[in-house]
Amino acid sequence: MEIKGVAAIVTGGASGLGGATAARLASAGAKVTIFDLNAELGEAHARAIGGAFAKVDVTDETAVVAAITEAEGRNGVARIVVNCAGVATGARLIGRDGQAAPLAGFAKVVGVNLIGVFNVMSKAAARLVQADPLGEERGVIVNTASIAAFEGQIGQAAYAASKGGVAALTLPAARELARYGVRVMAIAPGVFMTPMMAGFSEEVQASVASQVPFPSRFGRPEEYAQLVESIVANPMLNGEVIRLDGAMRMQPK
């Protein structure tokens, strides 16, 4: 699909992987709307890339529908939807005190990372399938999984479960939307230099980066965005989860 001139929505687009993706799509000519909860960062980034911003909780059906409607009124139906919004709160089954983990923490992570993806995806797809085709397809949805979906570490029970759900969602969604010419893909990043990772000490960062076979460093958000652009451009990429991890396989802890 040609990116120039089409509308795009990027959730979590204020910073990190989403921020880089929003910038890359905008530089390729897309009319980008950023969905994020951080209004200060989101508005500033939208101005910088010539896009628009909407403060959106991806788990809120009403808010998502309203934001999609507003973005569509401004730019037309979003042909590109990239779901990057997520949280990485740690969760063990049993706490250090020996007590079972509170359910609320697990539910919040799954709510944002999986249910939020489904919410935006389904609401955007409902608009997209009614749009006229652009050549042989109508659009593409790219979701963000993680290598934790396959090698979740101790303390990542909630995160791994949520990202595993995103990975598992990919093929059935692609099969369902195939009749409309809408593709669904997922990217499973390894360790990337995001605002969350930047908060760790240099020692921790070096230790994590050394586990990546090659290149032995953190991924750059721009490299995630580059893969999104490639997925959009290549119509044969559909129904698959692509690992973007430098051949890293996560250890138990």
Domain for residue 87, yes or no? yes
pTM, full prediction = 0.95
The tally of domains found in the chain comes to 1
Q: In this structure, which amino acid lies at residue 120?
A: V
Q: Please confirm, yes or no, whether 159 is among the known catalytic residues.
A: yes
pLDDT (0 to 100) of residue 96 = 84
Residue 31 sits in which domain range? Answer: 7-244
Domain for residue 236, yes or no? yes
pLDDT in tens, the chain (253 residues): 999 999 999 999 999 999 999 999 999 999 999 999 999 999 999 999 999 999 999 999 999 999 999 999 999 999 999 999 999 888 789 988 889 989 999 999 999 999 999 999 999 999 999 999 999 999 999 999 999 999 998 989 999 999 999 999 999 999 999 999 999 999 999 999 887 677 777 887 888 888 999 999 999 999 999 999 999 999 999 999 999 999 999 888 8
Domain for residue 251, yes or no? no
Domain for residue 249, yes or no? no
Domain for residue 48, yes or no? yes
What is the SS3 string spanning the chain? CCCCCCEEEEECCCCHHHHHHHHHHHHCCCEEEEEECCHHHHHHHHHHHCCEEEECCCCCHHHHHHHHHHHHHHHCCEEEEEECCCCCCCECCECCCCCECCHHHHHHHHHHHHHHHHHHHHHHHHHHCCCCCECCECEEEEEECCCHHHHCCCCEHHHHHHHHHHHHHHHHHHHHHHHHCEEEEEEEECCECCHHHHCCCHHHHHHHHCCCCCCCCCECHHHHHHHHHHHHHCCCCCCCEEEECCCCCCCCC
Domain for residue 252, yes or no? no
Domain for residue 68, yes or no? yes
Phi, psi (5° rounding) for residue 43? -65, -40
Domain for residue 24, yes or no? yes
Point out the catalytic residue in the list 35, 53, 159, 224.
159
Residue 80's CATH number: 3.40.50.720
